[in-house]
Amino acid sequence: MPIRTVLALGVFLPAMVAAVVFALARSARGRAMPGAWGGAIALPAAFLLGRLSSTGWRWPSFPPTDSTDWLVYAAPVAGLLGLLAAVWEMPRAAAWVKRVAVSGALVALLVRPLAQHTWTPGHTVAWIAAATIGIALLWWALDIWTRKAPGPATAFWLLVIGSAGAGVLVFGHSARDGQSAGALTAGLGAAWVVSLLFRRRGVLARGAVPVLALLLPGLWLSGHLFASVSLVQIALLAVAPVLAALTTRGPLSRGPAGRVALVRALAVLLPVCIAAGLAFQAWNAIAPGNYEEYGL
Amino acid sequence: MKSRFMLVGFVALLGLGITLALPQRAPAAPAPTGPSGPATAPGTGPYQLDTTHSSVIYRIRHNDVSYFYGRFNNITGAIDYDAAKPAAGSVQLTIETASVDSKNTKRDDDLRSPSFFNAVQFPEITFKSTSAKKVSADTVDVTGDLNLHGVTKSVMLRVKRTGALTSQSGRQLVGFETTFTIKRSDYGITYMLDRGLGDEVTVTVSIEARR
Query: CB distance A175–B110 less than 8 Å?
Result: yes
Q: What is the pLDDT of residue B6?
A: 60
Candidates B106, B112, B150; nearest CB to A66: B150
For residue B188, give the nearest of A61, A177, A228 by CB distance. A61
Each residue's pLDDT tens digit, A172-205? 999 999 999 999 999 999 999 998 888 777 788 8
Closest-CA distance of chain A to residue B46, Å: 29
Question: What part of B 140-199 touches A (C-beta under 8 Å)?
Answer: 149-151, 185, 188, 190-197, 199
Predicted confidence at residue B195, as pLDDT, reads 77
According to DSSP, residue A9 is labeled: I
Report the 10 Å Cβ neighbour count for B10: 10
The predicted model gives B163-167 an average pLDDT of 89
Taking a C-beta distance cutoff of 8 angstroms, is the pair B114, A228 a contact? Answer: no
Closest CA to A11 of A39, A42, A50: A50
Partner-chain contact A296 B114, CB within 8 Å: no
Which has more pLDDT, A89 or B41? Answer: A89
Query: In this structure, which amino acid lies at residue A27?
Result: S
Average pLDDT (B150-155) is 97
Measured between beta carbons, which residues in chain B are less than 8 angstroms from residue A174? Answer: 113-115
Query: What are the structural domains of chain B?
Result: 41-210 (2.40.128.110)
pLDDT at B18: 52
| Percent of chain B clearing pLDDT 90 (strictly above) | 67
Cα–Cα distance measured from residue B193 to residue B182, given in angstroms and rounded to the nearest whole number: 14
User: What's the pLDDT tens digit per position in A246-290?
Assistant: 999 888 888 888 888 999 999 999 999 999 999 999 998 876 555
**Confidence bin at A47 (pLDDT 50/70/90):** very high
Question: What CA–CA distance (Å, rounded) separates A285 from B101?
Answer: 19
pLDDT of residue A250: 85
End-to-end CA distance of chain A: 9
User: Using CA atoms, how far apart are residues A50 and B134, in angstroms rounded to an integer?
Assistant: 48
Q: Is it the case that residue A11 has pLDDT exceeding 50?
A: yes
Q: In the predicted model, is pLDDT for residue A87 greater than 50? A: yes
Q: Which residues contact A173 (CB under 8 A, 6 or more apart)?
A: A227, A228, A283, B106, B109, B110, B112, B113, B115
Greatest extent of chain B over all pairs of C-alpha atoms, in Å:
90
Contact predicate A42/A190, CB 8 Å? yes
Q: Given pLDDT bands bounded at 50, 70 and 90, which one contains residue B26?
A: very low
Predicted confidence (pLDDT) at residue B22 exceeds the cutoff of 80: no
Asked if residue B23 has pLDDT above 70, the reply is: no
Chain A nearest-CA distance from B204, in A, is: 19
Q: Across residues B36-49, what is the average pLDDT? A: 62
* B120 vs A54, A65, A226: nearest CB: A226
Domain residues of chain A, as ranges?
3-230
Q: Can you give the pLDDT at residue A291? A: 56
All residues of chain A having their beta carbon less than 8 Å from the beta carbon of residue B118 are: 66, 68, 226
Among B68, B105, B188, select the one facing A65 at the smallest CB separation: B188
Chain B contact probe: residue of A116, A281, A296 with most B CBs at under 10 A? A296
pLDDT score of B36 more than 60 = no
Q: What is the pLDDT of residue B21?
A: 45
Of B202 and A37, the one with more pLDDT: B202
Q: Return the pLDDT at A28.
A: 45
C-alpha angle A220-A14-A237 in degrees, rounded to nearest 5: 25
Mean pLDDT, chain A, as a whole number?
90
CB–CB contact B114 A68 (8 Å): yes
Contacts of A295 in chain B (CB under 8 A): 62, 192, 196-197
Question: Residue B56: beta bridge partners?
Answer: B72, B205
B31 or B188: which carries more pLDDT confidence? B188
| Contact state of B197 with A295 under an 8 Å Cβ cutoff | yes
Strands B100-101 and B66-72: antiparallel
Report the share of chain A in percent with pLDDT over 90: 75
For the cut 70, the answer to whether the pLDDT of residue B29 exceeds it is: no
Greatest mean pLDDT among A8-12, A82-86, B17-21? A82-86
d(CA B133, CA B197): 34
- B109 vs A contacts (CB less than 8 Å): 173, 227-228, 286
> Percent of chain B scored above 70 by pLDDT?
79
> pLDDT tens across B99-152, in order?
999 999 999 999 999 999 999 999 999 999 999 999 998 999 999 999 999 999
**Which of B43-57, B77-91, B169-183 shows the highest mean pLDDT?**
B169-183
In this prediction, residue B188 carries a pLDDT of 95
Measured between alpha carbons, how far is residue B173 from residues B45, B48, B50, B76, B85 in Å? 12, 10, 9, 15, 17
Please give the residue of chain A at the shortest CA–CA distance from B193.
A56
Q: Which of A176-180, A245-249, A292-296, B164-168 has the lowest mean pLDDT?
A: A292-296
**Under an 8 A CB cutoff, do A296 and B102 touch?**
yes
pLDDT at B54 over 80: yes
Residues of B in contact with A110 (CB under 8 A): none
pLDDT, mean of residues B186-195? 90
Q: What is the ipTM of this complex?
A: 0.88
By a Cβ cutoff of 8 Å, what residues of chain A touch chain B? 1-2, 5, 54-56, 58, 60-61, 64-69, 113-114, 173-177, 222-223, 225-228, 283, 286-291, 295-296
Residue A63, preceding peptide bond in cis (omega within 30° of 0):
yes
B109 shares contact with chain A (CB less than 8 Å): yes
Across the interface, whether the CB atoms of B114 and A226 are under 8 A apart is answered yes
